[in-house]
Amino acid sequence: MREQILSIIEKNSRIDLHELAVILGMEEADVVNEMEQMEKEGIICGYHTLIDWEKTSVEKVNALIEVRVTPQRGKGFDSIAERIYKYPEVHAVYLISGGYDLLVSLEGKTLKEVSNFVSDKLSTLETVISTATHFILKKYKDHGTVLDKKQSDERMQVTP
C-alpha cells in the first residue's frame, strides 16, 4: 500500500487525496494516515515542484562538482559531507563510489558566484584534496521527466 501511494505521489504530489484513495481502492482516512506516518518516519521528505527555470526570466547556473576528500577517523565521510551540505547554495550531496568521493550539486546566480564558492569555500576545507567543476549547459530530463516533451496523441480518435 505504501509503495503504491509513493509511486503515485512521486510523480504527482498535488493529487487530490480523495482521488488518490479512489484510484487505489482505499479509504481516504487510511491514505491520509499512511501519508502522515510516512512524513513522520522521514520516508516522505518533502513535496517539491519540478521547474524548468530556463523558461523563466530568472538566471540560474547549475554545476556538478566532483570532490575528493580525506575521510576523518571515526566519522568517515559524514562530517565533511555535512560541512558541505550546510551551504544553502548546495542542492545535493552524494557519496560516490569510484574515482572521487562526493558529488556536489550546486546552484548559483552566475558563473562567478559558483566559481567563487568552489575556490573560496569548498577547496579551502581542510579535508578536501581536489575538486573538478562541471557546469550544466542544458537539462533534457530531470527527476524522470523530459522537460521539453510535446504532448500529443498520435492515435486515431476512434478505433475498434
Partner 1 sequence: MRNPLSKTIVEIKPSGIRKYFDIVSEMNDPDVISLGVGEPDFETPWHIRDEGIYSLEKGRTFYTANAGLLELREEINRYLNRRFALNYDPKDGILVTVGGSEAIDIALRAMVDPGDEVIIPQPSYVSYEPCAVLAGAKPVIIELKNENQFRLTAAELEAAVTDKTKVLILPFPNNPTGAIMERKDLEEIAKVIEKHDLFVLSDEIYAELCYTEKHISIANIPGMWERTILINGFSKSYAMTGWRLGYACGPKQIIEQMYKIHQFCIMCAPTTSQYAAIDALKNGDADVQMMRDSYNQRRRYLVNAFQEMGLECFEPFGAFYIFPCVKQFGMTSDEFASRLLHEEKLAVVPGNAFGDSGEGFLRISYAYSLEKLKVAIERLRRFVERLQPK
**Binding residue (CB under 8 A) for partner 1 from 1, 17, 23, 50:** 23
Minimum gap (Å) between residue 61 Cβ and partner 1: 31
Residue 143's Cβ-count burial label (10 Å; 0-12, 13-18, 19+) is exposed
By the 8 A CB rule, do 16 and 23 touch?
A: no
Amino acid at the residue 94 = Y
Q: Tell whether residue 49 is a contact of partner 1 (CB under 8 A).
A: no
Q: Which of 14, 25, 55, 97 binds partner 1 (CB under 8 A)?
A: 25
**Cα 138 from Cα 115, distance rounded (Å):** 18
Q: Which is nearer to partner 1, 21 or 38 (CB)?
A: 21
Which one of the spans 29-37, 63-71, 76-84, 149-157 is the region binding partner 1 (CB under 8 A)?
149-157
Interface with partner 1 includes 153 (CB under 8 A)? yes
Residue 22, interface with partner 1 (CB under 8 A)? Answer: yes
Part of the chain binding partner 1 (CB under 8 A), chosen from 22-30, 41-49, 88-96, 121-129? 22-30
Residue 76, helix vs strand vs coil: strand
CA 29 to chain centre: 29
Nearest to 78 by CA among 63, 93, 99: 93
Which amino acid is it at 144?
A: G
Least CB distance to partner 1 at residue 13 (A): 14
Question: Is the C-alpha dihedral spanning 85, 76, 42, 96 positive or negative?
Answer: positive
Segment interacting with partner 1 (CB under 8 A) among 18-26, 37-45, 56-64, 71-79: 18-26
If one asks whether residue 149 binds partner 1 (CB under 8 A), the answer comes out as no
